[in-house]
Amino acid sequence: MPLDPVPGLLSRATELLEAEFSALPSLAPAADTERMASVLEGVAHRLSDNYPYFHPLYAGQMLKPPHPLARAAYALAMKINPNNHARDGGRASSEMEIEAVRELAGMFGWSEYLGHLTSSGTLANLEALWVAGQAAGTRPGMRILASEQAHYTHHRISAVLKLPFSQVPADHRGRMRMDRLEAELKKGDVAAVVCTLGTTAIGAVDPLPQILALRERYGFRVHVDAAYGGYFKLIPDALDEPARSAYAAIAQADSIVIDPHKHGLQPYGCGCVLFRDPAEGRFYKHDSPYTYFTSKQLPPHANEPKSLAGGPVHLGEISLECSRAGAAAVALWATQQFLPLSPSGEFARGLAQGRAAALELDRRLRADARVQPLVAGHPELDIVVWKLQAESPDQSSQRARAIFDSCAAHDLHLALVQLPESWFAPADTGQNQVENTLVTCLRSVLMKPEHEAWLDRIWERYMAACAAPIGE
């Protein structure tokens, strides 16, 4: 797999872009290019100290290579280096951000909304919880709730925002427990519930329809953290119940976060936050004296989305961050032009291929007597976790680490994850499982479309690694 799969793609477009500015007096070429080249060679050498994230045999953490078009569009935009804080600094790229975000919102069924890109899912979640706190502003002490399997940053974000935070226990599938959620809601001090569609550890899907039903009774905001799993909205037929119903209900959330830099084929630096109510832009109101000088005089733009019409002129007016990479918006826009967010398109097919690979890996693991699979069902998305049969949790963890190392020696890269022992089928050793004992398990995120075609080769290497685990 070449690191530059489409040579020439960028240089042709760079010439075109250069020609657009040819009326300006030319600049002297950069000096000392030889020394730059030699430093860059050193960089190439340093970068070899990485796992091969771009290759299908990398099946460990959530790492998916950006699309070649996304990389080229990002690099092209960097020649201009626009800043999407304000139109002064990023004219075309602000428009492209508005258009790209409109397509993401449309995927979730929203045509009127407020939304923008962020530098990450964490920042996007911070904005969503900040708005939740602002909306509850008149009632101090109101809590944020999230499942114990929610992303660890929700706790930290809540601390930064000085919002009290509580964890709701998860069931054996890693989904938020509704009985425990309701017990918390009865206390009457909940501002917002974070519903994760696609947990980071195992891709579990919280029961959004039930959470929405509780919202009717208890009144609170529902924030959907779909940083990882958001794009699975495109392939409901490839999902099982209850995940399918959770995705079908997503438009009823108050806010949604999705990370194009996770499953959306984007370079890092691309998250997105969306609010169902465009009027929530009022919480961001500020007046920066130095950035909106020239662009106040710009004519209102023709293709302003409804949510911005008559509202902010600059994306910085509806974002907590100031400077943001215009290049990230350009890359996302270009990718969505080429691979539209349509259930029948190639992008959706790629998601379904990863999901098929996960189900097939799960099927093979379940047929292997050395494996203790999750007791309750199959992967909900494209993440597979499994525990290794052993006499004790400690020995099981040790075996997982040995196979992890041995796989790496066979160029197959998996991941390790700590999960409650009680989630897995009991071992044949007659030992009672202790609730809450954590055990180290193997984990594979099969998020590349190529993973389906590569599954046999992944399996061969896994089998070879199991036959001779390192350090056992």
Which residues in this chain contact ligand PLP in the complex, by CB under 6 A? 120-122, 125, 151, 153, 196, 200, 225, 227-228, 259, 262, 271
**C-beta of 196 vs 397, nearer to ligand PLP:** 196
**C-beta of 271 vs 281, nearer to ligand PLP:** 271
Q: Give the C-alpha separation, 436 to 442, whole Å.
A: 18
| In the complex, least distance from residue 198 CB atom to ligand PLP, rounded to whole angstroms | 6
| In the complex, least distance from residue 228 CB atom to ligand PLP, rounded to whole angstroms | 3
Residue nearest to ligand PLP (CB): 121
Q: Give the C-alpha separation, 168 to 171, whole Å.
A: 10
| In the complex, least distance from residue 285 CB atom to ligand PLP, rounded to whole angstroms | 26
SS3 labels along the chain: CCCCCCCCHHHHHHHHHHHHCCCCCCCCCCCCHHHHHHHHHHHHHHHCCCCCCCCCCECCCCCCCCCHHHHHHHHHHHCCCCECCCCCCCHHHHHHHHHHHHHHHHHCCCCCCEEEEECCHHHHHHHHHHHHHHHCCCCCCCEEEEECCCCCHHHHHHHHCCCCEEEECECCCCCECHHHHHHHHCCCCEEEEEEEECCCCCCCECCHHHHHHHHHHHCCEEEEEECCCHHHHHCHHHCCCCHHHHHHCHHHCCEEEECCCCCCCCCCCCEEEEECCHHHHHHHCCCCCCCCCCHHHCCCCCCCCCCCCCCCCCHHHHCCCCCCEHHHHHHHHHHHHHCCCCCCCHHHHHHHHHHHHHHHHHHHHHCCCCEECECCCCCCCCEEEEEECCCCHHHHHHHHHHHHHHHHHCCCECEEEEEEHHHECCCCCCCCCCCCCEEEEEEEECCCCCHHHHHHHHHHHHHHHHHCCCCC
| In the complex, least distance from residue 193 CB atom to ligand PLP, rounded to whole angstroms | 14
**C-beta of 200 vs 397, nearer to ligand PLP:** 200
| In the complex, least distance from residue 86 CB atom to ligand PLP, rounded to whole angstroms | 24
**C-beta of 257 vs 308, nearer to ligand PLP:** 257
**C-beta of 250 vs 402, nearer to ligand PLP:** 250
| In the complex, least distance from residue 158 CB atom to ligand PLP, rounded to whole angstroms | 13
**C-beta of 51 vs 268, nearer to ligand PLP:** 268
Q: Give the C-alpha separation, 117 to 101, whole Å.
A: 7
**C-beta of 95 vs 382, nearer to ligand PLP:** 382
**C-beta of 206 vs 360, nearer to ligand PLP:** 206
| In the complex, least distance from residue 154 CB atom to ligand PLP, rounded to whole angstroms | 8
**C-beta of 225 vs 452, nearer to ligand PLP:** 225
**C-beta of 273 vs 339, nearer to ligand PLP:** 273
| In the complex, least distance from residue 243 CB atom to ligand PLP, rounded to whole angstroms | 14
In sequence order, which residues have a C-beta less than 8 Å from that of residue 371 and are 6 or more positions away?
365, 386, 387, 388, 389
| In the complex, least distance from residue 151 CB atom to ligand PLP, rounded to whole angstroms | 3
| In the complex, least distance from residue 207 CB atom to ligand PLP, rounded to whole angstroms | 16
